[in-house]
Amino acid sequence: MTSIEWTNETWNPMRGCQKVSAGCKNCYAETFANRFRGVKGNAYEMGFVPREVPGMLLKPLKFKKPSLVFVNSMSDLFHESFTDDYIHKVFTVMREANWHIYQILTKRPIRMKQLFDSKLKEFSSLDNIWMGVTVENCKAYKERVSILRNTNVKTRFLSIEPLLEDLGTINLTKVDWVILGGESGVRCRPMEESWVQSILKQCEEQNVPMHFKQWGGVRKKKAGRVLNGRTYDNFPEFKFKSKPTKSELKQIKINLEKQFFGEPITMSKFGPLASAENSVISFDFGTVISSNHEHVAIS
C-alpha cells in the first residue's frame, strides 16, 4: 500500500535517477535514498545510483487485489542507464499481470516515444498502461507534452507537480488525465492559487479529469488538498480485470521466470538488496512508512 493519493501501490523494478530539470531540484526520492547510503543490506545501500533490480520484476504478481500501480516512484523508467531489453521486461510484466493498471511518469519523453515506435510497439494498444510526463513549468510543458501527445499509447496523463509557475494556456488534446500539486518540504517553492485555478478551469473546459493532490508547503498536511471548498479526486474512466486464480497466477509466474531468467527465481539469486525493498512498503512525496509502521519525515 501507499499513501500517494492517486495510486494504490508502488513498484520499483529500477532504482535511482539523475536530475534533468527544475522539478528535480528537491527530489524526494533522492533525499530518501541517500539517507540509507552505505547502510549494509538496505535497498538503497548504493544511494540514488541508477540500477536495474531484477529481483523486483515480478512484484505485481504479489499484490493482493487489482490495483493502480505507480511504476518507478524511485526512478525514471526511461533513464539512459537502463537497457532497452530490461525496459521491455518491465512492460512484459505489465502485459501479463493485466489485472493491474500501471501509471508511468517520465521526464525523458524522447526515449519513451522512440521505444514505443520500435521495441515497445507491441505494448501500444494495452489499456492498462497509462503513460505520463511531468510538467513543472512552461519549459517542461513545451518540451514534453507534444512528445507525449504523439506517443502511440492508449492513455496519456500529465503530472503538474511541483507546479513552479503559471503555465498560461495549455492544450490538453489527447491528454486523458491531469494530476496537479505543489511542492512540499522545508525547501519547497510556493505555488500560487491563481496558477491552480487557471489549470482547473482549462481542464474543465477541455473535459479532462483533474486530481488535485496537494497545496504543498513545509507542513503539507496542514495545507491540505481542498480547492474551492472540496477535493478533486477525478480519474479517467477505467475498469479492473479480474485477478487470475491461484493456479493461473502460479503459471504466469513460472512462465515469466523462465522467459527472464531461464529458471525459477529466489530472492537469494539477486542478493540482499532485492528482499530489502520490502522493508519500505509505502512512501509519498513527503513521508516514508516502513514495515514496522514508523513514520520518517522527508525534508
pLDDT tens-digit series, residues 197-233 = 999 999 999 999 999 999 997 667 778 999 999 999 9
Q: What percent of the chain has pLDDT over 70?
A: 88
- For residues 52-66, give the mean pLDDT: 98
* pLDDT at 161 > cutoff 90: yes
Give Cα separations from 243 to 54, 69, 234, 246 (angstroms).
23, 14, 24, 9
Residue 119 has pLDDT above 60, yes or no: yes
CA 106, 110, 114, 116 dihedral sign is: positive
Write the pLDDT tens digit of every residue in 166-188.
999 999 999 999 999 999 888 99
pLDDT at residue 96 in the model: 99
Q: What is the mean pLDDT of residues 148-164?
A: 98
| pLDDT value of position 14 | 98
Cβ atoms of 62 and 146 within 8 Å: the answer is no
Q: What is the pLDDT of residue 28?
A: 85
The most confident of the ranges 124-138, 206-220, 250-264 is 124-138
Asked if 130 contacts 102 with a C-beta cutoff of 8 angstroms, the reply is yes
Residue 56 has pLDDT above 70, yes or no: yes
What pLDDT was estimated at residue 299? 24
Residue 45: all three cell numbers together: 545501500
Position 219 scores a pLDDT of: 66
**Mean pLDDT, rounded, of the chain:** 89
Evaluate whether 219 touches 210 at the Cβ level (below 8 Å). no
Which position has the higher pLDDT, 42 or 292? Answer: 42
What pLDDT sits at residue 295? 27
Least confident range from 136-145, 149-158, 285-294: namely 285-294
> What's the pLDDT score for residue 275?
42
Closest CA to 143 of 264, 12, 45, 22: 22
